[in-house]
């Protein structure tokens, strides 16, 4: 049974990813900073899928908490087979209207913590010379989007991390990929009104908005034996969206 660690586990995409791996019989390590939300998710995964689940309530913006988590996991579960890093945040505003602390928060959450959690978790994959790391990019990393300059920059950084780290860790049989979602119906975009959704849908080739399950299925594929020769890739899951 694979040990699968999911960050941002109770978010829209994170929950779908946890459910998909639970269906596959994985032992889940769910990570987030809200203990109540983690508890709710754990109960749901256990009752619905009889999933073996471990909780780690930490703030990924605190490197010492990441290291403490890894130390605990090394003793509790030994190694990690799969990490799906879903934690992240979005801030939408023109750059001229973005406060310095908002830039720092977004960079810290989306870039620095991604690098640090990947650095720490990859150490739990190295000894077994096997692992799959999947990060979350976004289609706006390449296409850009007005009002999302800092967010887009943070996701472009993820793309750089993935292609570089895949080369560093390839010799250890650890694969590193990213999913670049298009417009996915999650709480992050719950504030979009009907008009905005209609406008976005019209730009999607498949004429529907994405669901968290669309992302979860690709996450499961990327860590499966079927993807054993795939690394350093940014996989768009956007229904053919062109902004």
Partner 1 sequence: MPAQQTLIEAFAVALEIEPQEVVDSLTYSEHPKWDSTAHMILVAQLEADFDVMFEIDDIIDMSSVKKAKEILTKYQPSLSFDG
Cβ proximity to partner 1: between 61 and 67 the closer is 67
Is residue 72 within 8 A of residue 56, CB to CB? The reply is yes
d(C-alpha 39, C-alpha 23), whole Å? 19
Is residue 202 within 8 A of residue 239, CB to CB? The reply is no
Q: Helix, strand or coil for residue 103? A: helix
**Is 173 a residue that touches partner 1 (CB under 8 A)?**
no
Q: In what order do the strands lie in the sheet with 131-136?
A: 53-57, 27-32, 3-7, 82-85, 131-136, 174-181, 234-237
- Residues in contact with partner 1, counted by CB under 8 A, come to a total of 12
**Is 172 a residue that touches partner 1 (CB under 8 A)?**
yes
Is residue 60 within 8 A of residue 66, CB to CB? The reply is yes
* The binder of partner 1 chosen from 84, 124, 220, 235 (CB under 8 A): 124
Partners of 30 in beta bridges: 6, 55
**Is 164 a residue that touches partner 1 (CB under 8 A)?**
no
Reference 158, options 230, 85, 217, 99; nearest CA is: 85
**Is 74 a residue that touches partner 1 (CB under 8 A)?**
yes
**Is 203 a residue that touches partner 1 (CB under 8 A)?**
no
Catalytic residue, candidates 10, 151, 192, 229: 151
* Catalytic annotation present for 192: no
**Is 67 a residue that touches partner 1 (CB under 8 A)?**
yes
* The binder of partner 1 chosen from 126, 200, 204, 230 (CB under 8 A): 126
* The binder of partner 1 chosen from 50, 62, 71, 76 (CB under 8 A): 71
**Is 133 a residue that touches partner 1 (CB under 8 A)?**
no
Reference 5, options 76, 66, 68, 54; nearest CA is: 54
**Is 112 a residue that touches partner 1 (CB under 8 A)?**
no
* The binder of partner 1 chosen from 123, 130, 142, 197 (CB under 8 A): 123
The stretch among 40-48, 67-75, 219-227, 234-242 that binds partner 1 (CB under 8 A) is: 67-75
Active site residues: 151
């Amino acid at each position: 049974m694979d040990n699968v660690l999911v960050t941002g586990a109770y978010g829209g995409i994170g929950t779908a990813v946890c459910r998909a791996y639970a269906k596959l019989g994985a032992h889940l390590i769910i990570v987030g900073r809200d203990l109540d939300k983690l508890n709710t998710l754990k109960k749901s995964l256990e009752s619905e899928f009889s999933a073996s689940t471990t909780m780690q309530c930490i703030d990924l913006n605190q490197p010492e908490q990441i290291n403490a988590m890894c130390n605990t996991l090394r003793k509790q579960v030994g190694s990690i087979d799969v990490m799906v890093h879903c934690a992240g945040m979005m801030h939408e505003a023109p750059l001229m209207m973005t406060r310095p602390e908002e830039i720092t928060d977004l960079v810290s959450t989306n870039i620095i913590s991604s690098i640090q959690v990947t650095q720490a978790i990859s150490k739990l994959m190295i000894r077994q010379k096997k692992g799959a790391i999947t990060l979350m990019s976004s289609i706006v990393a390449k296409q850009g989007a007005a009002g999302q300059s800092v967010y887009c920059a943070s996701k472009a950084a993820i793309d750089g991390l993935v292609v570089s780290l895949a080369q560093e860790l390839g010799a250890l049989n650890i694969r590193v990929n990213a999913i670049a979602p298009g417009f996915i119906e999650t709480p992050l975009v719950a504030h979009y009104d009907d008009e905005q959704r209609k406008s976005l849908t019209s730009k999607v080739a498949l004429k529907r908005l994405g669901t968290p399950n669309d992302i979860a299925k690709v996450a499961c594929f990327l860590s499966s034996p079927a993807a054993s020769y795939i690394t350093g890739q940014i996989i768009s899951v956007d229904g053919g969206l062109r902004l």
